[in-house]
Amino acid sequence: MHTSHISIDIHLGQDKVPDKINWKASDSSAEEMQESKAMMVSFWDGSEKNAMRIDLWTKKMMVDEMADFFYQSFMGMADAYDRATHAHPEAESIRLFAKEFYRKFRENQLKENKGA
C-alpha cells in the first residue's frame, strides 16, 4: 500500500496569529514548501458522526481574498458532493448558495467603496 503525506507548517506571531502557512504534499510535483494565506481542513469522525475542522488564515489575507476563497471552497464542496453522492439537485443548491454569497459580497463591497 502506498502512503502519501501532507506537511503543514504554521508560523505564529507573538500574538499566536499565523504569520505564514506553508504546506507540501509528498505526491505533488512541487519540490519546495508552498506558501498559503489561508487553509481549511476537515476530517470526518465516523464513530462520533461529527466533523473536525482546522481553519486558519494569516494577517496578510484580505477580505476580498477571503470571499474568493470561500466561494471557491463552496464550489469545490458542491463538486465533491456531486461526485460522491450523485445527488445533483443538492449539489446544485450548494452552487446556487455560493453564487448568491459571492454576489452579495460584491454588492456590499461596491456600497462600502461608494461610501468611502
Residue 91 C-alpha cell reads as: 449539489
Read out DSSP for 39-66? EEEEEEETTTTEEEEEEEE-TT--HHHH
* Structural domain boundaries in the chain: 1-59, 62-116
| pTM assigned to the model | 0.89
- Kind and range of the H or E run holding 79: helix 63-85
pLDDT tens figures, 35-88: 999 999 999 999 999 999 999 999 999 999 999 999 999 999 999 999 999 999
As a whole number of angstroms, the distance between CA 39 and CA 70 comes to: 10
Separation of alpha carbons 94 and 77, rounded Å? 8
Supply 97's cell numbers. 448558495
